[in-house]
Chain A
Amino acid sequence: MMVAAIENGTVLDHIPSDRLFDVVSMLHLEKMSNAITIGFNLKSAVMGTKSIIKIADKYFTDEELNQLSAVAPNITMCVIKDYVIIEKRTVEMPEELVGIVQCPNPKCITNNEPMKTRFRSVAQGKDIIRCCYCNRDVELSDVRIVE
């Protein structure tokens, strides 16, 4: 299936299909009025299936995009201008993920106080993050996003 090219905007590719709706909500796409094309469950040689999002006339900050690493560390982001890719990179895990990931530990202070969660990457190259408060490790595949 082909997804139409956009003239200007941002393309997010290699999104695991089961994380598509997390990405939509983390970027608040449902509240935008821009033209957005979403490809869901597309065939991928590497991933089996993947999803892709094309957002016309919208550019994100590094901070906005890097938070996506909490659910999908291998998303690629392309910046398009006049149908040309002028920048392409993968999202990078920021030093801290603040207020994004919900701690799975019911006895963690973050689930019992009105406060933001804080997670750090355990080690580079490992898909595990650690709650700064209760020290619980969470695999990225199990991450739940703060509602």
Chain B
Amino acid sequence: MKNRSLVTLAGHSREKIEYLIRMAQEFENYPNRRLLAGRVVATLFFEPSTRTRLSFETAANRLGARVIGFADPKVTSGTKGETLKDTMMMVSSYADVIVMRHYLEGAALYASEVAPVPIVNAGDGANQHPSQTMLDLYTIYQTQGTLDNLNIYMVGDLKYGRTVHSLLMAMRHFNPTFHFIAPDELAMPAVYKRYCDEYGIRYVEHQDFDADTISDADILYMTRVQKERFADLDEYERVKDRYLLKKDMLCKVRENMKILHPLPRVNEIEYSIDDTPYAYYFQQAQNGLYARQALICDVLGFTLEDVVNDKTIL
């Protein structure tokens, strides 16, 4: 049987991404169903991530599935020295699909190679976080009416920010222009700039973050500059306030511009921006539910047609 696991969106075609967006739209229209009644979804979080886990578990619950799993890695056998493979084999004998967050990079691909049931990667170290990317793509599509030819500005921690890396790769089908705004210490890594070059994606790097820099943005993707990423704390103090989005910086932006953020936010978006028409991060988080419903159904073999013709809508 073909392995239907979702490890990364990087290998997905344009058609497949558009297909998943259409499926997520169906779930946005009717999120509560019994489509997965009788199924068991395992959520294995080897690294804590409350909002991703809640989002996945809500997605499974609203589709009528039962959820098993753990949220705290301290309770798993991994701490007793069990290999990931053994854990996957064991859980595969209980569940129909495994949603996994792991602190090691490449853990999701390896799990998908050894587990007999499909894996949904809920983040593996600094590597991939495809469900976040899917909800980002869905949100961009929802706000712009298209994914094509957009100016996407990424701000903050572009070095360790897994979400920006995954989004960058998935956007390659849609002729984007990226603008990277980050301090030197947290600049977009060479491997992703090389990826842009490989796929002919345009990108511009900025150090300034002001009203003029962002005036052509369609999407402003904010991320948090985290103190623990800096070896030199003086350096952190110097740059930490340079990448905060303030309300007066929005004076020249395009009407269609939307601000996204993977959350949690600390202070990088001024709270008064929440009430402007540009703020979209809370809707973005909500879209995570629909995107994850689509991803779980897709790996379980449900088609868009199955979802459109679903008779289990509540």
Residues on A with beta carbons closer than 8 Å to the beta carbon of B251: none
Q: In the bound complex, how far is the Cα of B126 from the Cα of A136, in angstroms? A: 11
Given the known inter-chain contacts A109-B84, A113-B83, A132-B109, please indicate yes or no for A137 contacting B104, CB distance below 8 A: no
A-B contact pairs, 17 of them (CB 8 A): A105-B105, A107-B125, A109-B105, A109-B107, A109-B110, A109-B124, A115-B85, A122-B194, A132-B109, A133-B106, A133-B110, A134-B105, A135-B127, A135-B128, A136-B105, A136-B191, A137-B194
Residues on A with beta carbons closer than 8 Å to the beta carbon of B110: 109-110, 113, 115, 133
Q: Are A135 and B191 in contact (CB under 8 A)?
A: yes
Is B198 part of the binding interface, using a Cβ–Cβ cutoff of 8 Å? Answer: yes
Task: Mark A112-125 against chain B: 1 for CB-CB distance below 8 A, else 0.
Answer: 11110000001100
Residues on A with beta carbons closer than 8 Å to the beta carbon of B103: 107
Q: Are A131 and B194 in contact (CB under 8 A)?
A: no
Is A78 part of the binding interface, using a Cβ–Cβ cutoff of 8 Å? Answer: no
Interface residues on A, range: 10 to 19
Is A108 part of the binding interface, using a Cβ–Cβ cutoff of 8 Å? Answer: yes
Given the known inter-chain contacts A123-B198, A135-B127, please indicate yes or no for A109 contacting B106, CB distance below 8 A: yes
Residues on B with beta carbons closer than 8 Å to the beta carbon of A137: 191, 194
Residues on B with beta carbons closer than 8 Å to the beta carbon of A114: 83
Residue of A nearest to B189 (CB): A137
| Interchain Cβ contacts within 8 Å, total number | 50
Residues on B with beta carbons closer than 8 Å to the beta carbon of A108: 104-106
- List the interface of chain B (C-beta within 8 A of A): 83-85, 102-107, 109-110, 124-128, 191, 194, 198
Please tell me which one of the listed residues B104, B126, B191, B194 contacts residue A109 in the complex, with CB atoms under 8 A apart. Answer: B104
Q: Are A134 and B125 in contact (CB under 8 A)?
A: yes
Contacting B at CB under 8 A, from A69-124, are: 105, 107-110, 112-115, 122-123
Q: In the bound complex, how far is the Cα of B84 from the Cα of A115, in angstroms? A: 11
Q: Are A107 and B109 in contact (CB under 8 A)?
A: no
Q: In the bound complex, how far is the Cα of B197 from the Cα of A123, in angstroms? A: 12
Q: Are B85 and A133 in contact (CB under 8 A)?
A: no
| A-B complex: 10 closest residue pairs judged by Cβ atoms | A133-B106, A134-B105, A109-B106, A134-B106, A109-B104, A109-B107, A109-B110, A137-B191, A107-B125, A107-B105
Q: In the bound complex, how far is the Cα of B102 from the Cα of A112, in angstroms? A: 12
Q: In the bound complex, how far is the Cα of B205 from the Cα of A31, in angstroms? A: 53
Q: In the bound complex, how far is the Cα of B124 from the Cα of A105, in angstroms? A: 14
Residue of A nearest to B126 (CB): A107
Residue of A nearest to B192 (CB): A135
Interface centre among B104, B105, B106, B110 (most CB of A within 10 A): B106
Closest CB in chain B relative to A113 CB, distance in Å: 6
Residues on B with beta carbons closer than 8 Å to the beta carbon of A133: 105-106, 109-110
Q: In the bound complex, how far is the Cα of B191 from the Cα of A109, in angstroms? A: 19
Q: In the bound complex, how far is the Cα of B73 from the Cα of A57, in angstroms? A: 55
Q: Are B198 and A112 in contact (CB under 8 A)?
A: no
Q: Are A113 and B84 in contact (CB under 8 A)?
A: yes
Residues on A with beta carbons closer than 8 Å to the beta carbon of B84: 109, 113
Interface centre among B109, B110, B124, B128 (most CB of A within 10 A): B110
Closest CB in chain A relative to B7 CB, distance in Å: 10
Q: Are A107 and B194 in contact (CB under 8 A)?
A: no
Q: Are A113 and B194 in contact (CB under 8 A)?
A: no
Q: Are B127 and A134 in contact (CB under 8 A)?
A: yes
Q: In the bound complex, how far is the Cα of B124 from the Cα of A115, in angstroms? A: 17
Residue of B nearest to A126 (CB): B194
